[in-house]
Chains A and B, each alone.
Chain A
């Protein structure tokens, strides 16, 4: 299995500021994903973090708002930019080895973000 560490675990931020969330995996993985979970809701995929290239964003999410980096096969960051109270959510990192590695996805414990 893969062990995922997310930092910070929680934060309270002022509107208009930005927060960068880090995701570190204990082994090299092919695919890394970022999800958002709004209060009382299910998980929504934000983007797939691609190593060595630009992230692939889902409908409704844009790079200017959620820039993502993936410098290597064990690390990724998600930035929530120019935050508003509507960005208050749990943000989760997930990894999946793809067809050749793991058959299941693993999740970090999430970053609980509150924007005031």
Chain B
């Protein structure tokens, strides 16, 4: 079973930052926090991952709390194309991905 907890859905305004929370209170020391998204009718797409430090790439930023029990994915300037289901997943290197329910994000004009 998935070990992360995410809100079922959220709306955000186009052009504004979208902040997606995730709780992973039972994360192990060797597990990373991964974020994927699935746009309708497509396969999941990797966004970003981190262990304990904050990470940023061209798609998003990942903020991990010091105790590693929660994290926030930040889409800095949400566009309509960011409408998708976003999955937060704990995963150790070499292990399989276990998907939870994710957060259904709707970006509105």
Q: Which applies to chain B's interface (DSSP): helix, strand, loop or mixed? A: loop
Neighbour of A105 across the interface among B85, B97, B100, CB < 8 A: B97
B44: CB under 8 A from chain A?
A: yes
* Pairwise interchain contact B93-A99, C-beta atoms closer than 8 A: yes
Interface string of B88-109 (1 = CB under 8 A from A): 0000011011111110000000
How many angstroms between the C-alpha atoms of A45 and B44 in the bound complex? 13
A29: CB under 8 A from chain B?
A: no
How many angstroms between the C-alpha atoms of A92 and B98 in the bound complex? 14
With a cutoff of 8 Å between Cβ atoms, the chain A residues found around residue B94 in the complex are 31, 96, 98-99
How many angstroms between the C-alpha atoms of A94 and B100 in the bound complex? 17
With a cutoff of 8 Å between Cβ atoms, the chain B residues found around residue A105 in the complex are 36, 44, 46, 97
Q: How many B residues face the partner with a CB closer than 8 A?
A: 20
* Pairwise interchain contact B99-A108, C-beta atoms closer than 8 A: no
Q: How many A residues face the partner with a CB closer than 8 A?
A: 23
* Pairwise interchain contact A108-B102, C-beta atoms closer than 8 A: no
Binding site for A on B (CB under 8 A): 34, 36, 41-46, 49, 85, 87, 93-94, 96-102
With A35-B99, A45-B96 already in contact, 10 other A-B pairs whose C-beta atoms are closer than 8 Å: A42-B87, A42-B101, A43-B99, A92-B44, A103-B93, A104-B49, A105-B36, A105-B46, A105-B97, A112-B41
